[in-house]
Amino acid sequence: MSLVITPKQQKEKELAPTGLQPAVAVDVVDLGIQKTSFGKRSMVSIVFELQAADSEGNHFILMRKYSKSLHPKSNLRGDLEHWRGAPFSDGELQKGFDLEKVVGQPCMLYLEDRDGFIAIESIMPPEGGAVYRPSGQYTRVKDR
């Protein structure tokens, strides 16, 4: 008996549009301890759904990973402060920040193409009070 395997036809993956794009946070994921260039770190990711969709009507999903830290020099803290448009107060930092609060929150993402990989360069508040809501196409990791 023969077992013939043929290569699956690969269609070219559509890339999300670059530049300033309306989006909404659809998930936060605790990634646990990850090996990084700075050693082992506790990591989290924020998952975003773009308002833009591919040719089949599926909204683009992008993720950004962070060290689980609100240190003044951490990328997570910087992005959260830009997104909300204000720095954290000492009182807010003492209580801690529940990252779940960002799920469902609209934002503007500045996206760049890095040799076929779309990267989130910065996160900002939505423009002019515009609000983009999740499409419902994405299922949170905790609900899978």
Tens-place pLDDT, residues 129-144: 777 899 999 999 999 9
Confidence class for position 4, pLDDT limits 50, 70, 90: confident
Contact between 24 and 48 (Cβ < 8 Å): yes
User: How far is C-alpha 111 from the chain's CA centre?
Assistant: 11
Tens-place pLDDT, residues 82-116: 999 999 999 998 999 999 999 999 999 999 999 98
Task: Give me the mean pLDDT over the 40-50 stretch.
Answer: 97
Task: Give me the mean pLDDT over the 43-54 stretch.
Answer: 97
CA distances from 97 to 91, 100, 123 (A): 11, 9, 17
Name which of 16-25, 40-49, 84-93, 104-113 the model is least confident about.
84-93
Each domain of the chain, given as residue ranges in start order, spans 19-132
Q: How many other CB atoms sit within 10 Å of the CB of residue 78?
A: 16
Tens-place pLDDT, residues 54-65: 999 999 999 999
Confidence class for position 128, pLDDT limits 50, 70, 90: confident
Nearest by Cα to 126 from 78, 82, 88, 74? 82
User: How far is C-alpha 56 from the chain's CA centre?
Assistant: 21
What does residue 110 show for φ and ψ, rounded to 5 degrees?
Answer: -100, 115
HSE-CB for 103 with a 13 A CA cutoff: 14
CA distances from 26 to 62, 78, 84 (A): 10, 19, 16
Q: What is the pLDDT of residue 9?
A: 73
Distance CA 44, CA 96 (A): 15
> What is the token pair recorded at 10?
């690969």
